[in-house]
A and B are shown apart, each in its own frame.
Chain A
């Protein structure tokens, strides 16, 4: 038996060497690839250049310019004005709140249709609906919420006349932070479902059963296996949800006008050119958003590294 094992081990080594060799081979063939192979990518690179590199570059340059186009840091000192700081804070709070709440509800929903074992029909309905709803944002979404939960919205009116519940009397206001959060959560939930569903599908039934077989409770299973296995995907999903809310503009603008000053709305105001018109400050604010997102992603990739040591 020992001999056979040794043999298997040496086979194993042999196999590793072979894969090493074939890896080198494929690298080699990649290096040899013809310039013509890259032709197909030209439209893609042009697109990237026109709509990502140029705007980002002009944003970067513009943030360091005054109206006359000469170098200045004044835009950044303006960022420290209380109204702009508070605008950043409220944007972060809105994004984090809706990412967490939408993420939680979306996770539970995704769990129900995957591991929870709801019928196939329910599953495909939720998936399809999520695909549509996660893209439902901007003016149409705001309008939908206004006409259902606005002051004279359908649900508001029905609750008031039929059930005698006055939403607005009891503190709810669609045009407030929580009203906006509620509206965001409408697309955060389905987005979470879409992102996390594959991860949940990848959870093997055997892990659960093996842990049970070794005496573990449901809690112990989730604590030692379920959560650790899902953590990288959960983190990735939350970041995506955060970014999704962080950059949203149209929904907030059409729902609350300028009532809730999230950063994208302030930027819009600077660039569109009403009384406040100062595009260079707008650029600096946008750069600030890029910075926050970059920090978030850095923190994320650090957490990701810790949580996914075991991943291939």
Chain B
């Protein structure tokens, strides 16, 4: 039994159903992220847990109790909003102490707890500032402290970092994770930033169209995506339209190329599928290497090179098909030019076959315009 549970929760606004029959179980102390594109229902789901939206159907349990009909003020869940949520008329100290004051905690105790919180977010010297005298990152720190000062049962965060610039965002997300670990507080975190979700979550729920498409650890989600939507939403991916030509031996064709996969393709003979392979799974073929039964070798030409810092991304063309390959950067690297012939190799285990009958978040279709 999870600490926070959603049992078949749905939400409609008028005729528009935005959350569909959602099931989720979050363990005590766990950090779960809702990840998905805009409008997929992340915020709505979080707001239902917080109590700001009432589910159209289904049940929400917190700590074993059905809270579906409990007003937000009585749920004791801390919430951090995207921005603008600090009370502008109160200092940092008053903001953090607000929940305690409402709860009737003594002034002395509030003082003590606020000091603890200020130390936790390393903002002791900002205690008497007003929100408008703080940077966005500092405001969100205070918002976090304010949310956890009342020792809520769980912490809910709705894209708390999306209004901040990239550097602060990375630093603050690590701080959030550190504080979460220190307090062991159950946390649900909404984001549309896959890198953010992967770096701080115990588990990620990838959402799409009001449903959880897949839930798992960042490692599972990245390496074993269940659908091509999940696969393409997270990280960079080669997502290719393929046709099964030899179901028994796991062989598919892409144009005139034949590729070996480790997937079982039972009953898929001659069916269209999607083949995915991560760019980091590819490497240049060394002519000395023997081609084994477990590897795929493709020959084509370089289309362009994207320098990404720690890695270099080669965009290559094989027949009509574009593929990415990522290699680590090093200063000795000799970068090929457009049109240079290349030969790449990747194992059949690196290829994942996913059902074809769905659109994906950002398939490689756009590659040609991108170039």
Contacts and interface: CB of A to CB of B under 8 A. Distances in A.
B52 interface: yes
A311 B87 CA distance: 11
B76 interface: yes
Given A8-B137, A8-B171, A213 B72 contact: yes
Secondary structure call for the A interface: helix
A214 B99 contact: yes
A229 B175 contact: no
B195 interface: no
A229 B89 contact: yes
Contacts of B146: 210, 214
B178 A215 contact: no
A228 B88 CA distance: 10
Contact of B88 (A214, A217, A229): A229
A8 B102 contact: no
11 contacts: A1-B174, A2-B122, A15-B135, A211-B102, A212-B71, A212-B72, A214-B102, A215-B76, A215-B99, A224-B87, A310-B90
A207 B124 CA distance: 23
Most buried by A among B85, B146, B178: B85
A213 B50 contact: yes
A4 to B, nearest CB: 5
Most buried by B among A215, A220, A310: A215
A5 interface: yes
Contacts of A213: 50, 72-73, 77-79, 147
B222 interface: no
Contacts of A210: 79, 81, 85-87, 143, 146
Interface in B81-112: 81-91, 98-99, 102-103
A216 interface: yes
A115 interface: no
Interface in B201-217: none
Contact of A214 (B86, B135, B150): B150
B74 interface: yes
Given A215-B103, A225-B87, A225-B90, 13 more contacts: A1-B122, A1-B175, A8-B135, A15-B135, A206-B81, A206-B85, A207-B84, A207-B85, A209-B72, A210-B86, A213-B72, A213-B77, A215-B99
A28 interface: no
Interface in B132-168: 132, 135, 137-138, 143, 146-147, 150, 168
Contact of B138 (A4, A12, A204): A12
A220 B87 contact: no
Contacts of A310: 88-91, 130, 132
A204 B130 CA distance: 16
A141 B82 CA distance: 48
A73 to B, nearest CB: 47
A32 interface: no
Nearest to A228: B89
Contacts, number: 95
Interface residues of B, number: 40
Contacts of B102: 211, 214-216, 220
A224 B101 CA distance: 11
B243 to A, nearest CB: 51
Interface string A221-245: 0001100110000000000000000
B73 A215 contact: yes
A236 to B, nearest CB: 16
Contact of A207 (B87, B174, B175): B87
Given A2-B122, A310-B90, A211 B81 contact: no
Q: List the 3 closest pairs (A to B, CB-CB), nearest first.
A: A214-B99, A206-B85, A5-B122
Contacts of A5: 122, 175
Contacts of A207: 84-85, 87-88
A211 B88 contact: no
B174 A215 contact: no
A312 interface: yes
A218 to B, nearest CB: 9
A206 B84 contact: yes
A209 B79 contact: yes
Contacts of B85: 204, 206-207, 209-210
B173 to A, nearest CB: 11
Contact of A1 (B98, B130, B132, B178): B178
Given A206-B84, A210-B79, A310-B90, A217 B73 contact: yes
Contacts of A214: 73, 78, 98-99, 102, 146-147, 150
B163 to A, nearest CB: 12
A160 B349 CA distance: 93
Contacts of B77: 213
Contacts of A228: 89
Nearest to B76: A215
A224 B132 contact: no
A229 B132 CA distance: 13
Contacts of B76: 215
Contacts of A4: 171, 174-175
A206 B102 CA distance: 17
Nearest to A202: B88
Interface in A1-60: 1-2, 4-5, 8, 12, 15
Given A2-B122, A209-B81, A215 B87 contact: no
A5 B171 CA distance: 8
A12 B98 CA distance: 26
A220 to B, nearest CB: 6
A288 B147 CA distance: 54
Contacts of B150: 214-215
A183 to B, nearest CB: 37
Nearest to A213: B79
Nearest to B98: A214
Most buried by B among A207, A228, A310: A310
